[in-house]
Structures are given as structure tokens and as C-alpha cells.
């Protein structure tokens, strides 16, 4: 649904329902602060301006270059009913949009947590100092046994650091799995939005066809009066 033009009333329903809308065949259902219509911003402003001289709900439309108004309550009610299913779908789409935004915020929060994953590194200063001393002796000359002892100590430190890395990786893995689940939910919501969009298009074509038939009926029975 296109964005309402600036200056639109609070409850404006900007609905260019017709895929083959052409300038000159616009219409608007005006009810208080709410307008459901097919047309451009200028059509919206003109339809709304008629409230200065019309009491109650009405339909404004343009036919063959001329503007007409329908005040008949029954016909206005019929016109509103034509677009009620679309408005209901619109509310569902809006609700899905809110859910998608919330999932997006959760994904952003998880992404930050993944970046901030920390592990507590124990104090290894004593082991490192001992290794430095042993290495200093080896530089002056040492036996194979002494070299093996140093290599063993280094291997133990590397193993402990590897365990710490593994802990961090496991934590990121958990967060990644949560990200994946949120992504799956986003995909489901997107599919639902797609289905609602298809249904919205179908209803749009149907309601536009019926609306035009209603306007033709109003022209024939005299319910539509020139502005």
C-alpha cells in the first residue's frame, strides 16, 4: 500500500486499489477522518475538501472529466463493504510487519552478543615465567630431556588455550543456532506476507470491478449528483 501523501488525515487509507487506474477516473469513499480511495494526492485533497459543504459520509468520483458525489447512505455503506476485506488484510500485514521488526531487533541483539563473547582466561604468568627460565637455560645448552620437558609444558599451555577457544566457539555456536531459528521465523513471516500480498491483489481487482459497477449504477439511478 503506497505511503499516504503529506497532509493526509489521521485515519487516511491511501489505497490505489486499481492496477489500471488512469487519471480522470478516480474515486474516494469519505467517512469522517477516513478516506479509502483510488487516485492521486490532488484527488485526495479535492475529495476531502468537499466535507466543507457535505454532511455525513459520501463518495466522490470523476467520470468523463466531471466530478460526482453520492450521498445515499445505502450506497456508501455498500462501497465501504467492498473494501472491508482489504482493510482486514491490511491490518494482518501490519501485524506481521511488527513481528518482523521485533525479530529483526532480536537478531541484531544476538549479533552483538556474538561479537562480545568473552571467556575467562586464567592467570598463566607463573607457567610462562617458568618456561622463559627453561628456555633461557636451553639457549646456553641443554639435553634432549630438558627440551622435551619444555615442549611438553608448551603443549599443555596450548591445550588449555584451545579449550578456552572451544568454550568461546561453543557459546557462539549456541547464539548462531538461535540466529538460525530467528531467520527461519523471519522466512515464515515473509512467506505469510507474500500470501497476504497475493490475496490483497486479488481482492483489489475484485473490489475495483465491483466499485466501478456501483458507480455506474449510481449514475443510472440518479444517486450520483454533479458536484
Cell numbers that stand for 132 in this block:
622463559
Q: What percent of the chain has pLDDT over 90?
A: 34
Cα distance between residue 133 and residue 125, in whole Å: 12
- 164 band by pLDDT with thresholds 50, 70 and 90: confident
The neighbouring-strand residues paired with 201 are none
Cell numbers that stand for 139 in this block:
639457549
pTM of the model: 0.59
Q: What percent of the chain has pLDDT over 70?
A: 87
Q: Can you give the pLDDT at residue 69? A: 97
Q: Residue 197 in 3-state DSSP? A: helix
Contacts 24+ apart (CB under 8 A), 155-160: 157/124, 157/127, 157/128, 157/131, 160/122, 160/124
**Mean model confidence pLDDT for the chain:** 82
pLDDT at 10 exceeding the cut of 60: no
Q: Can you give the pLDDT at residue 23? A: 47
Cα distance between residue 39 and residue 25, in whole Å: 8
Q: pLDDT tens, 137-162?
A: 777 776 777 777 777 877 787 787 78
More confident residue, 224 or 127: 224
Q: Report domain extents, the chain.
A: 11-91+204-226, 93-202
Q: Can you give the pLDDT at residue 7? A: 47
Q: Can you give the pLDDT at residue 57? A: 95
Amino acid at each position: 500500500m503506497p505511503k499516504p501523501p503529506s497532509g493526509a488525515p489521521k485515519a487516511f487509507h491511501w489505497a490505489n486499489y486499481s492496477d489500471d487506474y488512469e487519471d480522470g477516473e478516480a474515486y474516494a469513499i469519505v467517512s469522517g477522518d477516513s478516506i479509502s480511495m483510488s487516485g492521486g494526492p490532488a484527488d485526495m485533497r479535492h475529495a476531502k475538501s468537499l466535507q466543507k459543504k457535505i454532511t455525513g459520509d459520501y463518495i466522490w468520483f470523476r467520470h468523463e472529466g466531471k466530478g460526482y458525489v453520492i450521498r445515499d447512505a445505502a450506497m456508501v455503506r455498500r462501497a465501504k463493504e467492498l473494501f472491508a476485506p482489504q482493510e482486514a488484510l491490511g491490518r494482518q500485514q501490519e501485524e506481521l510487519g511488527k513481528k518482523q521488526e521485533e525479530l529483526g531487533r532480536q537478531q541484531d541483539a544476538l549479533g552483538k552478543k556474538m561479537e562480545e563473547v568473552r571467556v575467562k582466561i586464567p592467570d598463566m604468568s607463573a607457567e610462562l615465567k617458568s618456561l622463559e627460565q627453561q628456555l633461557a637455560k636451553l639457549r646456553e645448552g641443554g639435553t634432549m630431556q630438558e627440551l622435551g620437558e619444555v615442549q611438553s609444558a608448551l603443549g599443555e599451555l596450548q591445550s588449555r588455550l584451545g579449550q578456552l577457544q572451544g568454550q568461546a566457539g561453543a557459546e557462539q555456536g549456541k547464539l548462531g543456532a538461535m540466529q538460525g531459528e530467528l531467520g527461519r521465523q523471519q522466512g515464515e513471516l515473509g512467506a505469510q506476507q507474500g500470501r497476504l500480498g497475493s490475496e490483497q491483489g486479488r481482492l483489489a481487482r475484485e473490489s475495483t470491478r465491483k466499485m466501478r459497477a456501483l458507480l455506474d449504477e449510481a449514475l443510472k439511478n440518479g444517486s450520483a449528483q454533479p458536484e
